[in-house]
Structure 1
Amino acid sequence: MPEDASCSRYRGERILRLPAVIARTGLSRSSIYRKIDEGTFPAQVKINHNCVGWHQSAIEDWIGNPRSYVQPFD
């Protein structure tokens, strides 16, 4: 099965769970999900059937420049 480009970009990278993302960004849970819907915050990745997280580098990119962050289309 061919590997998705987004998978290879993040291979071996740390996955942050919601409490860590909240702590790193200072945003509330509802603000994070609202920004995801707007496309101005990194989307979560599915870890298993009932667990999600965020790639650490995607969160760091957002922290580095939150006003101009645009969700990449992989």
Structure 2
Amino acid sequence: MSILRMSAVQAETGYRSRTSIYNAVAAGTFTKPVHIGPRSVGWPSSEVRSINAARIAGKSNEELRILVTALHEKRTQEVA
């Protein structure tokens, strides 16, 4: 699994700003970042791909929230 930094996430998703990504995180339609250092974060590439696929498929915001919840649960299980 690779970790995408902010600039790569912006390029992959089409979001123009950091604020857009963090607004989507706050809205529950994008996964929370993982800490990869004391002052750096990133997103698992598999999660970004899954969310992009759902957006392309025309999923609603509610369906995206369900997907994001499932991705967070999977992330927690993989760590345990």
TM-score bracket for this pair, using the shorter chain length = 0.7 to 0.9
| Structure 2: runs of 5+ lacking an equivalent | 74-80
Provide the TM-score with structure 1 as the length reference: 0.76
Q: Which structure 1 residue ranges, 4+ long, deviate > 6 Å from structure 2?
A: none
Q: Which residue identity lines up with residue 17 of structure 1 in the other structure?
A: R
Q: 1:63 aligned to 2:52? A: yes
**Aligned residue number for residue 30 of structure 2:** 41
User: Structure 1 stretches of 5 or more lacking a match?
Assistant: 1-12
The percent of aligned pairs where both chains have the same amino acid is 35
Length-normalised TM-score, structure 2: 0.71
The equivalences for 1:1-74 within 5 A come to 13-27=1-15, 28-66=17-55, 67=60, 68-70=63-65, 71-72=68-69, 73-74=72-73
Q: Which has the higher helix share?
A: 2
CA distance in 1, matches of 2:41, 2:20: 17
Aligned residues: 62
